[in-house]
Structure 1
Amino acid sequence: MTRSPEISDFLAVSAKALRMSCTGEALRAAETVIGRFNTVGPAGGNAARLPVCDWIVPALAAVAPERAALGRTFAALEGQLEWKRRASARESDPQFWSGHANAMILGPGGLEEREDLWIGVTVMAPGVDYATHNHPPEEVYLSLSPGEWWNARMDWTDPGPTGCIYNPPGIAHAMRSGEGPFMAIWYLPL
């Protein structure tokens, strides 16, 4: 199996950004993620967009210089991704239903089918709270545009363009956008 140059570039820039941004538990998790980059999974993915994806271009326009390379390499992949709502989203909550989307880059339904690693992205319209949730794998986030994160071990925080967010395994966590669109990449070693 061969990997597309766009995915290779994205992963190389991701490794650099993770190593520059993470410390402690987050860096340990990031190194686990990076260690799995050499494995190439079978090609997958079916491009599909939701209306909230119209916020991707404005979100990418807000990328700070420190994350510009990550934004560029993500933009090269974006049109190939299958954007979906969180499975728990309900039309009875129109702000969340219409205001968010997730896409898998590596992992189930991603551009590479993987069982050992999930890398994906979330986009949210302004003023959206992402539902509090948890999952067994730990998780590291890198922001591409301003936004805030919360988990049961920390108050709401924006890591800025040089920080990262770490969620330990199974911890309750959430995200929210502010006055502008929100976009972040997430990395989960399974």
Structure 2
Amino acid sequence: MTTNFEALLDAFHAFLKIEQASLARDAAAAIDWAMPARTLEPKTVPCVRHIDRIQDIAAATAQPLVRLIADNRKALRWGQTYTKDDFDSNFLDNYGWVELFGTRGHFANDAVAGGFLILGPEVVYPSHHHQAEEIYIPLTDGTGWRKGEGAFQVRGAGETIHHPSNINHAMKTGVEPLLALYLWRGGPLAAKSTITGAA
């Protein structure tokens, strides 16, 4: 594991510590940040191409994190939960995540998973749910977020978005891509979400 990955983990931790939302701070305080490192084979996905644009539009407070993601993009193990049996090629070309820590992450943690989600522009991530509680902090502006049966609400960079266990939620990007920090806890950390809405 390179020191660059350690720096990314440190920046992730530092970002959560200064979060204004108590939910994010409480989640960060409960994590043992002395996590063992793993050696993972790098893997990429098509949505990584959006990182350069994300660097241009990310919030100032997120720039240290985004710069480290950009600098390490080829060394990280990017993934996708879904396949062509679940979604069309447009979604799969514009969706992906990297788990920094968790059961599949660059740092081992069996209780909490954390990392980053990318969605390309003009993409709908349809209603879905999972057992794990989820906390998102968008690092870019302009994405619509929906919880339950409500309408999409555009949320700004730095806002905390909370999805309790098994509640339906969805995202819809606008003209710009989304980069969001995420935390999963309280359920299977590698479980596939149940899709309940149409793309």
- TM-score of the alignment, normalized to the shorter chain, above 0.5: yes
Measure, in 2, the Cα distance between the counterparts of 1:129 and 1:186: 18
Cα shift at 1:123 = 1.0
- Tell me which amino acid in the other structure corresponds to 1:14: F
Show the counterpart of 1:119. Answer: 114
Measure, in 2, the Cα distance between the counterparts of 1:80 and 1:140: 25
Show the counterpart of 1:5. Answer: 6
Measure, in 1, the Cα distance between the counterparts of 2:112 and 2:87: 32
Cα shift at 1:131 = 3.1
SS of 1:106's equivalent in the other structure is strand
> Which consecutive residues of structure 1, in runs of 5 or more, have no partner in the other structure?
none
Relative to structure 1, is the Cα distance of residues 134 and 173 closer, same or farther in structure 2, using a 3 angstrom cutoff? Answer: same
Show the counterpart of 2:85. Answer: 90
Measure, in 2, the Cα distance between the counterparts of 1:51 and 1:38: 30
- Tell me which amino acid in the other structure corresponds to 1:185: L
| C-alpha contact 2:135 2:163 (8 A) present in aligned 1 | yes
SS of 2:90's equivalent in the other structure is helix
| C-alpha contact 1:105 1:112 (8 A) present in aligned 2 | yes
- Tell me which amino acid in the other structure corresponds to 1:84: G
The count of aligned residue pairs is 184
SS of 1:149's equivalent in the other structure is strand
Relative to structure 1, is the Cα distance of residues 41 and 134 closer, same or farther in structure 2, using a 3 angstrom cutoff? Answer: farther
1:144 counterpart (136, 139, 159):
139
1:63 counterpart (58, 73, 95):
58
Cα shift at 1:106 = 0.6
Higher helix share: 1
SS of 1:161's equivalent in the other structure is coil
Show the counterpart of 1:108. Answer: 103
Show the counterpart of 1:172. Answer: 168
Measure, in 2, the Cα distance between the counterparts of 1:41 and 1:164: 27
Relative to structure 1, is the Cα distance of residues 89 and 139 closer, same or farther in structure 2, using a 3 angstrom cutoff? Answer: farther
- Tell me which amino acid in the other structure corresponds to 1:167: H
Cα shift at 1:92 = 5.8
> Which consecutive residues of structure 2, in runs of 5 or more, have no partner in the other structure?
187-199
- Between stretches 83-92 and 47-56, larger displacement belongs to 83-92
Measure, in 1, the Cα distance between the counterparts of 2:151 and 2:86: 29
CA deviations over 1:99-118 (Å, ceiling 9, x no partner): 21121111122111221111
SS of 2:96's equivalent in the other structure is strand
Show the counterpart of 2:195. Answer: none
Q: TM-score, normalised by structure 1?
A: 0.82
Show the counterpart of 1:52. Answer: 47
Measure, in 1, the Cα distance between the counterparts of 2:151 and 2:51: 27
Relative to structure 1, is the Cα distance of residues 165 and 57 closer, same or farther in structure 2, using a 3 angstrom cutoff? Answer: same
Measure, in 2, the Cα distance between the counterparts of 1:134 and 1:88: 17
Q: CA RMSD in A?
A: 2.6
